[in-house]
Amino acid sequence: MLTFLVLVQSVSAQYRFDAWTTDNGLPQNSIINILKTSDGYLWMTTFDGLVRYDGVRFKVFNGGNTRGIKSSRFLTLFEDRNKTLWITTAESGIARYKDGVFTTYTTGDGLPHNRNARALQLREDEQGLVINTDGGAIRWKDGKFVPYNPDEGDRFATIGFPSRPGVSWYIDAEGLHRVENSQVTAHAPSRWSSPTEVRKITETGRDTLWVCETLEGKVWRLRDGVYQLVTGKDGRALKGVVEVCEDRHGNIWIATAGSGFTVLGKIAPRSLPPPMGF
């Protein structure tokens, strides 16, 4: 196990700092989840719609303006190996975005419950996608829902934190552990001993982890065995952080539950190329 330090200094001082709120086109300032999909778009969920950012503008999809969507209260985002985007909702099942079309699945289509389990993330293994609901887990395989058997497929499928396609991290008393293709491939030091203390873990390259805490919503960067607390322009720790995402240019998007986004950027977001160039 590696030794590690905790440095309370400004990670954001190493980047240019920018802030994004409803003034920039967000439907609300409380972000639930954020994901960069393989086509370059940034997607984010709120309780006032699903949002897509193309490098220039935000576009909002909700139950009132988009066919195939039955809710405006969205939770978790996940892109599977077929480049299909899945979006869980607070109480209206799960939506799928494929080939430009949204489809929502509910108990009428085979889901055990229309409310998705917020504490458990969507996960994919060699057997298919695992969807966790308040009524239990179910698997999406070959275009349909099938019963989930915990004895088959990835034994990590219902634990841990998906951090990038095919990779997740989990926490126990011995530290952080990296899982790729159902195999533990690396270990890292941890400031936490229980998964309940962590909201999200994001891996941006094999040398950097971003960890969002549950209690105060602080975010830490782990690099070369050293933890650094991420701070804003005023030197104070960012709080209420729910998600961290890196775009293709190396900009770090930090989503919060009340203050929109903080962008630690190498390239000014507003100068990025037009749609599909993000």
104-148, pLDDT tens digit by residue? Answer: 999 999 999 998 876 566 878 778 888 988 898 899 998 999 998
> Is position 276 within any domain?
no
Contacts 24+ apart (CB under 8 A), 259-262: 259/19, 259/21, 259/29, 260/19, 260/20, 260/21, 260/22, 260/24, 260/26, 260/29, 260/31, 261/19, 261/20, 261/21, 261/26, 261/31, 262/12, 262/17, 262/18, 262/19, 262/20, 262/232, 262/238
- Asked whether residue 99 carries a pLDDT value surpassing 90, the answer given is yes
- Asked whether residue 196 carries a pLDDT value surpassing 70, the answer given is yes
Going by pLDDT thresholds of 50, 70 and 90, the confidence category of residue 26 is confident
Percent over 70 (pLDDT), the chain:
83
> Is position 34 within any domain?
yes
144: containing domain: 5-271
Indicate whether this model's pTM tops 0.85.
Answer: no
Q: What CATH number corresponds to the domain at position 210?
A: 2.130.10.10
> Is position 278 within any domain?
no
> Is position 96 within any domain?
yes
CA–CA gap between residue 152 and residue 139 (Å, rounded): 11
> Is position 36 within any domain?
yes
Asked which of 36-50, 224-238, 259-273 is least confident by mean pLDDT, the reply is: 259-273
Name 133's bridge partners: 116, 136
> Is position 187 within any domain?
yes
Q: Which residues contact 48 (CB under 8 A, 6 or more apart)?
A: 27, 28, 60, 62, 72
Number of domains in the chain: 1
One-letter amino acid for residue 149 of the chain: N
> Is position 159 within any domain?
yes
> Is position 170 within any domain?
yes
- Position 268 scores a pLDDT of 43
Mean pLDDT of the chain: 81
Going by pLDDT thresholds of 50, 70 and 90, the confidence category of residue 23 is confident
